[in-house]
């Protein structure tokens, strides 16, 4: 048994004090910024739209729009660590009245009738469309943001999106975006508990300024922000598919929050594109504090180019913001993805991935036409020339979902969506919870039927069948039925790669 080192008492106490001091100084950001880490935006390479981010009990939690029937959460002890954190599925819904195209998550720790619980709000509608979007809420079993969650309810049965909870004057209110008089506007309604709307809605903002009407008249993504004795609602304005999507601000002027007169709109946007920094369509934000509670941060999505759309190509960005003399927030300018920023105070994480590796993007040129490519449109797959947006014909080849020796073909602008066959049609779908999803989304790359230097896609789940054409629609066709030159050409493609 090793002799114990006998320190004189004062040294061992000194050691403990030194360890305590260093630990406190490093993990709680006492004093200088040198203890803070560094990071660069974005926090993900796609599927980063409409992000919500919370810091809770030593970890950051991040959720974003999934476009599908599952909700995911990333967890990391450092902000930069979210970049490589696995998005874990925390909920999956097969009831079509509660899913299937999930947008705009928001999760808040609220002390309601069931005690302290996380309430996870999302909008969901018909898969592959913008239709039938309704706000829903889940409740956690305890106080772990990772869940498990159970379905708690639907808050509206009319079209409404981007639900968010406002806590003001010891009351709960539901903020959301919906249509009135043909304009997508902001509304507020009272809540009797975190899952129940208890009164009529009031419209508190409609798009009225030119900066709220780029591409379409839109006010959406309302989020409350409190500072000292002031309350604001920061919201997104203009069409999300334009580079001029931006943030606006309402200031609470006192009185009944359910009265439109209690909210005053700022005449100018408060956060918008920076051509100099290469950031476009910044919007649909959330707010969080640094681990030591001393700093205010904004999380938002944006595109890297003016041609970016309102799709899975949007990525999550974060930056610190300050306050003006008059107590209003100063969000500054969206930072460039090349700029290294200091991590939140008290966060010593180093950036594991300053720059995401460039995706290898593939397009599949059809043998049977000049300059035509395989593309998805309304989640059906066909061959088109002059594809617009070109992203509809851009894919990323990944290891096969059912067999990593094979491949799966993931959409670039709808990440998490894969080329699959369904009832013999070739379509683009996300994981729909069926057992056949993975097998039907897995393909073997074979020498092209019309030209062995090109390729054909043989189904993993139905060997001997390839992506071909039936009645002028891309379909799964038995190789034995492909007997003409035209049919062979319809099943033959040339992969073109770009980074």
The catalytic residue among 50, 106, 139, 458 is: 50
Q: Does 162 sit near ligand AHR (CB under 6 A)? A: yes
**Minimum distance from CB of 143 to ligand AHR (Å)?**
27
Residues in region 39-98 near ligand AHR by CB under 6 A: 49-50, 65
Q: Among 93, 106, 212, 220, which one carries the catalytic annotation?
A: 220
Site for ligand AHR in 437-476 (CB under 6 A): none
Under rule CB under 6 A, how many of the chain's residues touch ligand AHR? 13
- Going 122 to 126 to 129 to 133, the CA torsion angle's sign is negative
Q: Least distance from C-beta 172 to ligand AHR, angstroms?
A: 21
Min separation Cβ 482 and ligand AHR, Å: 40
Among 284, 365, 375, 376, binds ligand AHR (CB under 6 A): 284
315 contacts ligand AHR (rule: CB under 6 A): no
Cβ density class 287-324: b for 16+ within 10 Å, e for less: bbebbbeebbbbbbbbbbeeebbbbbbbbbbbbbbeee
Closest to 99 in 3D by CA, of 117, 123, 121, 120? 123
Say if residues 464 and 416 touch (Cβ distance below 8 Å): no
Pick from 68, 71, 310, 466: which binds ligand AHR (CB under 6 A)? 310
- In whole angstroms, how close is the CB of 15 to ligand AHR at the nearest point? 53
Distance CA 146, CA 149 (A): 8
Give min distance, CB of 295 to ligand AHR, in A: 26
Question: Is the Cα dihedral 143, 145, 148, 152 positive or negative?
Answer: positive
> Nearest distance from residue 369's CB to ligand AHR, in Å?
33
225-254 binders of ligand AHR (CB under 6 A): 240
Closest CA to 68 of 97, 45, 93, 85: 93
Distance CA(112)–CA(93), nearest Å, equals: 24
220 catalytically annotated: yes
Q: How far apart are CA 278 and CA 338, in angstroms?
A: 9
Annotated catalytic, 210? Answer: no
For ligand AHR, the closer of residues 41 and 65 by Cβ is 65
Q: Please tell me the distance from the alpha carbon of residue 164 to that of residue 125, in angstroms, as a whole number.
A: 17
Q: Is 212 in the site for ligand AHR (CB under 6 A)?
A: no
Q: Name the residue nearer to ligand AHR (CB basis): 165 or 240.
A: 240
Q: Tokens for 369, please give them.
A: 């036409």
Interface with ligand AHR (CB under 6 A), residue from 44, 123, 303, 459: 123
Quote the tokens at residue 347: 């966060």
Give yes or no for a contact between 417 and 430, defined as CB atoms under 8 angstroms apart: yes
Catalytic positions, please? Answer: 50, 220
**What residues make contact with ligand AHR under the rule CB under 6 A?**
49-50, 65, 103-104, 123, 161-162, 220-221, 240, 284, 310
């Amino acid at each position: 048994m090793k002799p114990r080192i006998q320190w004189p008492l004062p040294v061992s106490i000194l050691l403990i004090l030194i360890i305590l001091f260093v630990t406190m100084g490093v993990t709680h950001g006492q004093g200088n910024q040198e203890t803070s880490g560094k990071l660069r935006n974005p926090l993900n390479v796609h599927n980063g739209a409409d992000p919500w981010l919370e810091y809770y009990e030593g970890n950051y939690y991040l959720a974003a729009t999934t476009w599908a029937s599952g909700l995911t959460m990333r967890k990391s002890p450092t902000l930069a660590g979210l970049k490589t954190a696995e998005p874990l599925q925390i909920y999956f819904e097969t009831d079509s009245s509660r899913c299937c195209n999930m947008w705009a998550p928001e999760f808040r720790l609220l002390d309601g009738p069931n005690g302290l619980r996380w309430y996870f709000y999302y909008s969901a509608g018909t898969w592959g469309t913008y239709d039938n979007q309704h706000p829903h809420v889940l409740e956690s079993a305890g106080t772990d943001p990772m869940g498990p969650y159970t379905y708690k309810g639907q808050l509206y049965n009319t079209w409404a999106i981007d639900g968010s909870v406002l806590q003001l004057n010891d009351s709960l209110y539901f903020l959301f975006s919906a249509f009135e008089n043909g304009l997508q506007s902001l509304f507020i309604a009272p809540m009797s508990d975190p899952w129940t709307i208890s009164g009529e809605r009031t419209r508190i903002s409609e798009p009225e300024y030119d900066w709220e009407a780029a591409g379409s008249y839109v006010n959406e993504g309302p989020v409350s922000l409190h500072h000292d004795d002031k309350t604001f609602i920061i919201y997104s304005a203009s069409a999300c598919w334009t580079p001029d999507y931006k943030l606006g601000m309402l200031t609470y002027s006192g009185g009944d929050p359910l009265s439109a007169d209690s909210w005053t709109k700022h005449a100018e946007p408060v956060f918008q594109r920076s051509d100099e920094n290469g950031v476009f369509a910044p919007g649909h934000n959330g707010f969080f504090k640094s681990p030591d509670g001393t700093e205010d941060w904004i999380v938002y999505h944006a595109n890297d180019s003016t041609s970016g759309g309102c799709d899975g190509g949007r990525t999550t960005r974060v930056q610190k913001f300050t306050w003006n003399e008059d107590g209003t927030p100063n969000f500054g300018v969206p930072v460039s993805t090349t700029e290294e920023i200091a991590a939140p105070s008290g966060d010593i994480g180093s950036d594991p991935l300053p720059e995401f590796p460039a995706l290898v993007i593939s397009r599949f040129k059809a043998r049977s036409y000049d300059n035509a490519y395989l593309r998805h449109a309304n989640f059906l797959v066909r061959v088109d020339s002059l594809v617009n947006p070109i992203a509809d014909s851009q894919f990323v080849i990944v290891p096969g979902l059912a067999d990593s020796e094979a491949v799966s073909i993931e959409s670039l602008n709808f990440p998490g969506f894969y080329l699959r066959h369904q009832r013999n049609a070739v379509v683009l779908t996300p994981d729909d919870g069926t057992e056949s999803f993975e097998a039907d989304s897995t393909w073997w790359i074979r020498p092209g039927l019309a030209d062995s230097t090109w390729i054909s896609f043989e189904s993993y789940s139905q060997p001997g069948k390839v992506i071909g054409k039936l009645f002028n629609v891309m379909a799964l066709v038995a190789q034995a039925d492909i007997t003409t030159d035209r049919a062979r050409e319809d099943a033959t493609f040339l992969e073109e790669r770009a980074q």
